[in-house]
């Protein structure tokens, strides 16, 4: 079937509505009816364009992945000094998850369900983060003696987990620490500076 301009406009309207609903209700809390209401269409028309919530969420994720992961790869592959890369990674990653907090949980669920499908079909070869240059740079700095001996993979995992964990545990953090949404966002803005400082201070000589 050939797509018309009207089809494209309707599809984009649905995707914009879906982003808002997923952002406020998450993947599990969102309903197709909620998305149809937000898009100003009936549920039957929504199902005509997207047969299921999973398909719609996958499309939303793909659009974000197409924008986000190339930015991360540009950081990994850039000629910047190691400490500057660590700062940029934390800033980009936290900014992205602030805007799309459903992405980490979606990625974790999909990877655990079917790693090959997620990496191949959903992310695609060109979207997958490639940290090899970053890991090699860490190893080079260790050999030069400019940073303390550390496994490059461990450093990458430390950086990634410090960025992601607060968003994965957000409901517990809000309840147990007593933060509201605005306070949490402010805390995450602070982490864009706190995380690089913490990691850099732990490895620099």
1: containing domain: 1-51
DSSP 104-122: HHHHHHHHHH-HHHIIIII
Q: Are 73 and 137 in a shared domain?
A: yes
Q: Are 23 and 84 in a shared domain?
A: no
Q: Are 66 and 153 in a shared domain?
A: yes
Q: How many domains does the chain have?
A: 2
Q: Are 195 and 154 in a shared domain?
A: yes
pLDDT band at 197 (very low <50, low <70, confident <90, very high): very high
Q: Are 113 and 187 in a shared domain?
A: yes
Q: Are 41 and 115 in a shared domain?
A: no
pLDDT band at 4 (very low <50, low <70, confident <90, very high): low
Share of the chain above pLDDT 90, in %: 55
DSSP 10-49: HHHHHHHHHHHHHHHHHHHH--HHHHHHHHTS-HHHHHHH
On whether the pTM is more than 0.85, the answer is no
Please determine, for residue 105, whether its predicted confidence score (pLDDT) is greater than 90. Answer: no
Q: Are 35 and 102 in a shared domain?
A: no
Of 10, 26, 51, which residue constitutes the final position of a domain?
Answer: 51
- Do residues 14 and 46 lie in contact, with contact meaning Cβ atoms separated by under 8 Å? yes
The CATH number given to whatever domain includes residue 27 is: 1.10.10.60
Q: How far apart are CA 147 and CA 21, in angstroms?
A: 45
Q: Are 47 and 66 in a shared domain?
A: no
47-56, 80-89, 185-194: least confidently modelled range: 47-56
The CATH number given to whatever domain includes residue 150 is: 1.10.357.10
pLDDT confidence of residue 2: 43
pLDDT in tens, 109-124: 777 777 777 677 656 6
20-34, 48-62, 138-152: least confidently modelled range: 20-34
Task: Look at the chain and count its residues.
Answer: 205
Helix 103-113 to helix 5-29 angle, to the nearest 10 degrees? 80
Q: Are 32 and 97 in a shared domain?
A: no
Share of the chain above pLDDT 70, in %: 91
């Amino acid at each position: 079937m050939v797509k018309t301009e009207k089809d494209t406009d309707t599809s984009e309207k649905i995707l914009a509505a879906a982003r808002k609903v997923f952002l406020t209700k998450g993947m599990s809390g969102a309903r197709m009816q909620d998305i149809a209401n937000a898009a100003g269409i009936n549920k039957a028309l929504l199902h005509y364009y997207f047969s299921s919530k999973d398909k719609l969420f996958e499309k939303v994720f793909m659009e974000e992945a197409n924008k986000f992961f190339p930015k991360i790869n540009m950081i990994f592959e850039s000629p910047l000094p190691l400490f500057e890369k660590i700062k940029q990674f934390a800033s980009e990653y936290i900014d992205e998850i602030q805007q799309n907090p459903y992405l980490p949980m979606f990625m974790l669920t999909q990877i655990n369900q079917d790693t090959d499908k997620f990496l191949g079909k959903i992310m695609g070869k060109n979207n997958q983060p490639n940290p090899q240059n970053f890991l090699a740079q860490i190893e080079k700095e260790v050999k030069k003696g400019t940073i303390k001996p550390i496994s490059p993979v461990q450093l990458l995992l430390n950086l990634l987990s410090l960025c992601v964990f607060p968003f994965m545990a957000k409901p517990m953090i809000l309840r147990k620490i007593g933060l509201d949404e605005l306070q949490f966002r402010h805390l995450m803005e602070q982490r864009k500076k706190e995380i690089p400082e913490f990691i850099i201070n732990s490895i620099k000589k």
